[in-house]
Amino acid sequence: MLFQVKMTVTIPAHLASGEFDSLKKLEKARAQELQIAGVWRHLWRIVGNYANISVFEVTNGEELHEILSTLPLFPYMNLEVTPLCRHPSSIEARG
């Protein structure tokens, strides 16, 4: 099942810059791991924001939640999740 996830990160003022830098490195590593595994299918930056639009391919919403909660920046994210299905007019192969 495909899900679009809009992730907007808000870093609290009390978080030390060194801690934030560490979290960003861990976040990048985890995101790349999930992309290599084929779970995180697309990752697009939203220009001018600390935010992205991503597409995940997972079994269900519960699995998606479990994956998202492993992201190091998860505690600082506002997430908007939209389930997706193929449009009948799409020329891309089904699958």
The confidence score (pLDDT) of residue 43 equals 98
pTM: 0.90
Residue % of the chain over a pLDDT of 90: 83
Strands ordered across the beta sheet of 77-84: 40-45, 51-57, 2-9, 77-84
- Give the CA radius of gyration of the chain: 15
Output the CATH code of domain 2-84: 3.30.70.1060
- CA distances to 13, 18, 19, 21, 89 from 54, rounded to whole Å, are 26, 27, 25, 22, 22
Which residue stretches of the chain have pLDDT < 70?
Answer: 93-95
Q: Beta-carbon neighbour count of residue 24 at 10 Å?
A: 14
The confidence score (pLDDT) of residue 12 equals 86
Condensed to tens digits (0 to 9), the pLDDT of residues 7-26 reads: 999 998 998 889 999 999 99
Gap between the Cα atoms of 83 and 71, Å rounded:
20
What are the extents of the domains in the chain?
2-84
